Amino acid sequence: MAEKELGGCHENSGLIDKNKILEANEALKSEQDEVSQSRNSQYQQDLKSVLLTSVLNLEKLDVDLYRGTHHWVPRTQRLFGGQIVGQALVAAAKSVSDSLYAHSLHCYFVRAGDPKVPVLYQVDRTRDGRSFTVRSVKAIQHGQPILICQASFQTLQPSPLQHQFPMPVVPPPEDLLTVEELIHHYLSKPDLAEEAKKGLKKLLANEVPIEIKPVNPAHFYRLGPEQPRRLFWGRARGHIGEGNMKLHCCVAAYVSDFALLGTVLLPYPEYRAKFAASLDHSMWFHSTFRSDEWMLYECESPWAGSSRGLVQGRMWRRDGMLAASCSQEGVLRVKPVTEPSKL
Ligand SMILES: CC(C)(COP(=O)(O)OP(=O)(O)OC[C@H]1O[C@@H](n2cnc3c(N)ncnc32)[C@H](O)[C@@H]1OP(=O)(O)O)[C@@H](O)C(=O)NCCC(=O)NCCSC(=O)CC(=O)O
């Protein structure tokens, strides 16, 4: 979402050297040390994550019927897909026993969510099995579904079959800048294009409940033609604690839709999104994790065509364990960029 709102910033110098980006990050990091320190001390005050206290804190209206409210609404003025998926998973999880773990979900976004009214979540107890339990959730506004979701839960079971891809090697989050720190840096550039400046200021005003550190800011802000792949460290703002694993999965579902679809645009800096919306979203949860601790989010788009783009994501614990995978297809209609940015 964030990169889309920037208004398709690019420069014509071609690919950017990764080492130069890391060097630039290093310089920026010391520049912004004071800001970071105050942020860290704020974090250490143990502020409860707003995801926990507000976004994912659904109100029970009746048996298997819940109401969710909004925290952050994107500039598109349609509800953030991650919020609807996260809330749907919360609703589903409320109807299964504590001994079950969420292992997957599959959703279609069938209508744009209206930020002016709350969302109702209606849960259907599709099946309770011995190992697996399935729930169907309909998210409803104005009497019509905006999302349909199937979520599956499993008892913990041992397995001799265990493998995963290795985690990509990237700088640790401590060596990188947050999105806000990067934006302050870009805003300090005197020759910044007006359109980009406006986009950046709007981004700063966002109260996104996720903290993000792009591994390569050039990828995050589409500063040149790139392979459709990008990585960032992300975590829920504020403290969640050990809590229960289902809740961390709900938070990860919220985070997973952030900046996923924009990966499709990376090879095309000459275009900006005119209309972009996720069509579907699937997730698989693999191991335990803390969503309020840094996780590496790897996003790649293996295909685009017919005004659609496919994106696959992997969330890694910083110790190298694969925590979750996700997949999404989105509709993307583009228009040529008229004013190149000078970020
Ligand atoms: C995907 C849908 C729009 C599909 O519905 P329809 O098939 O009726 O819509 P559509 O494709 O015909 O039209 C959508 C917009 O594209 C325009 N449009 C249609 N055909 C076009 C064409 N050939 N060329 C250019 N534009 C075209 C329409 O005028 C309209 O714009 P206009 O609307 O301007 O008139 C809808 O199902 C939907 O809104 N689903 C919810 C999606 C969602 O909210 N996902 C979560 C948020 S996204 C998210 O969180 C991730 C992220 O953003 O990164």
Top pLDDT among 30 and 162 is at 162
Measured in Å, residue 258 CA sits from the centre of ligand 1 at 18
pLDDT at 31: 52
pLDDT at 3: 35
Summarised one tens digit per residue, pLDDT across range 71-119 is 888 888 899 999 999 999 999 999 999 999 999 999 999 999 999 999 9
Measured in Å, residue 217 CA sits from the centre of ligand 1 at 28
Summarised one tens digit per residue, pLDDT across range 206-251 is 778 999 999 998 776 777 789 999 999 999 999 998 878 999 999 9
Q: Three-state SS for 293?
A: coil
| pLDDT value at 15 more than 60 | no
ipTM for this model: 0.92
Atom of ligand 1 nearest to the CA of 76: 53
Under 8 Å between Cβ of 234 and 294: yes
Separation CA 272–CA 152 (nearest Å): 36
Inter-CA distances, 224 with 49, 268, 343, Å: 35, 8, 11
- Looking at residues 153-174, what average pLDDT do you find? 96
CB of 250 closer than 6 angstroms to any ligand 1 atom: no
Top pLDDT among 47 and 307 is at 307
Report the amino acid identity of residue 177.
L
Measured in Å, residue 212 CA sits from the centre of ligand 1 at 27
| pLDDT value at 34 more than 70 | no
Tokens found for residue 160 = 């001799």
Atom of ligand 1 nearest to the CA of 1: 54
CB of 329 closer than 6 angstroms to any ligand 1 atom: no
Question: In which band, very low, low, confident or very high, does the pLDDT at 198 lie, cut at 50, 70 and 90?
Answer: confident
Separation CA 204–CA 225 (nearest Å): 25
pLDDT at 47: 76
Question: In which band, very low, low, confident or very high, does the pLDDT at 175 lie, cut at 50, 70 and 90?
Answer: very high
Separation CA 343–CA 340 (nearest Å): 9
Strands (E), 32-131: 59-62, 65-68, 100-109, 119-128
pLDDT at 52: 86
Instruction: Supply the mean pLDDT for the chain.
Output: 86
Residue tagged 């109260």 (tokens): 207
Q: What sign does the dihedral 207-208-213-218 (CA atoms) show?
A: negative
Question: In which band, very low, low, confident or very high, does the pLDDT at 35 lie, cut at 50, 70 and 90?
Answer: very low
All structural domains of the chain: 2-155+170-336 (2.40.160.210)
Selected catalytic residue, list 32, 87, 141, 278: 278
| pLDDT value at 24 more than 60 | no
pLDDT at 178: 93
Q: Three-state SS for 233?
A: strand
Selected catalytic residue, list 49, 257, 282, 325: 257
The answer to whether residue 278 is catalytic is: yes
| pLDDT value at 255 more than 60 | yes
Summarised one tens digit per residue, pLDDT across range 112-158 is 999 999 999 999 999 999 999 999 999 999 999 999 999 999 999 99
pLDDT at 43: 47
pLDDT at 51: 87
Residue 139, phi then psi, degrees to nearest 5: -95, 125
Separation CA 272–CA 215 (nearest Å): 22
Report which protein residue has its CA nearest ligand 1's atom 32.
Answer: 275
Report the amino acid identity of residue 236.
A
The pTM for the full model equals 0.86
Under 8 Å between Cβ of 74 and 1: yes
Measured in Å, residue 162 CA sits from the centre of ligand 1 at 40
Residue 28's region, left for phi above 0, alpha for psi from -120 to 50, else beta, is alpha
CB of 279 closer than 6 angstroms to any ligand 1 atom: yes
Q: Looking at residue 70, what DSSP letter applies?
A: -
Atom of ligand 1 nearest to the CA of 262: 54
Residue tagged 């000459």 (tokens): 270
Under 8 Å between Cβ of 65 and 122: yes
pLDDT at 4: 31
Q: Three-state SS for 16?
A: coil
Strand order in 308-317's β-sheet?
A: 59-62, 65-68, 119-128, 132-141, 144-155, 100-109, 271-285, 322-336, 308-317, 295-305, 229-236, 210-214
